[in-house]
């Protein structure tokens, strides 16, 4: 059982859970998930929830976290990056416009690529007496990838400051 006695400890516990999601180690996820998790009103096993929370090819990061230990609640804005493989196309020799012949496997000779989808998810987590996630409320929104420019990073910092939620604001949320 986790030793959670402050908002900082709950946040650290949650970030450890996110690391385990990204490593996809089912044996360690049971330390963070109750045997049954309710997700947006739907009851499911911890394994089903873990598969839903981090599908193959996904990378999950917590961007903003607000915790209330007394209510066993944590709110987070999550960034999810989904890498979807796209059908591969044969590598073609431009001289004769036919697929290159090679002793390599078809998989190696074919070019492959992935499409990347970015999702921002706003999530509330409730923890049981053993500090395992037992209830989750989530709303997701598709997000285009942000350009990697200096001006964009400045806007992102301003947005984070503007969206900072004081811990006293948690009393408004009733579940």
Per residue in 46-60, pLDDT tens?
989 988 887 788 888
Domain membership of residue 80 (yes or no) is: yes
The confidence band for 172, taking pLDDT boundaries of 50, 70 and 90, is very low
pLDDT in tens, 25-41: 777 888 899 999 999 99
The answer to whether 10 and 125 have CB atoms below 8 angstroms apart is no
Candidates 35, 17, 34; CA nearest to 25 is: 17
Residue 17 has pLDDT above 60, yes or no: yes
pLDDT at 109: 44
Average pLDDT of every residue of the chain: 75
Mind giving me the DSSP string for 26-92? HHHHTTTEEEEEEETTEEEEHHHHHHHHS-TTEEEEEEEEEEETTTTEEEEEEEEEEEEEEEEEE-E
Number of domains in the chain: 1
Domain membership of residue 172 (yes or no) is: no
The confidence band for 111, taking pLDDT boundaries of 50, 70 and 90, is very low
For 112, what's the count of Cα atoms within 13 Å in the CB-facing half-sphere? 11
Q: What is the mean pLDDT of residues 86-92?
A: 52
| Count of other CB atoms within 10 angstroms of residue 2 | 16
Q: Please report, for the domain that includes residue 37, its CATH number.
A: 3.10.450.50
Domain membership of residue 155 (yes or no) is: yes
Domain membership of residue 175 (yes or no) is: no
Instruction: Please tell me the distance from the alpha carbon of residue 57 to that of residue 22, in angstroms, as a whole number.
Output: 9
Give the range of the structural domain holding residue 22, as residue numbers without chain letter: 7-165
Residue 99 has pLDDT above 70, yes or no: no
| Residue predicted with more confidence, 172 or 136 | 136
Residues 6+ apart with CB under 8 A from 124: 73, 74, 75, 136, 137, 138, 173, 175
The answer to whether 20 and 14 have CB atoms below 8 angstroms apart is no
């Amino acid at each position: 059982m986790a030793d959670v006695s402050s908002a900082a400890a709950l946040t650290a516990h949650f970030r450890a859970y996110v690391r385990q999601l990204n490593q996809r180690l089912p044996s360690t996820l049971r330390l963070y998930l109750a045997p049954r998790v309710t997700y947006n009103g739907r009851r499911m096993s911890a394994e089903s929830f873990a598969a839903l929370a981090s599908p193959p090819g996904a990378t999950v990061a917590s961007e903003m976290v607000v915790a209330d230990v007394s209510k066993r609640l944590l709110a987070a804005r999550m960034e999810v990056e989904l890498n979807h493989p796209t059908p591969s196309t044969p590598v073609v020799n431009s001289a004769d416009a036919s697929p290159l012949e090679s002793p390599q496997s078809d998989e190696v000779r074919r070019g492959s690529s992935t499409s990347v989808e970015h999702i921002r998810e706003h999530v509330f987590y409730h923890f049981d007496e053993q500090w395992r996630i037992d209830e989750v409320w989530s709303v997701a929104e598709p997000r285009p990838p942000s350009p990697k420019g200096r001006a964009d990073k400045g806007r992102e910092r301003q947005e984070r400051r503007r969206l900072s939620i004081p811990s006293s604001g948690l009393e408004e949320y009733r579940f």
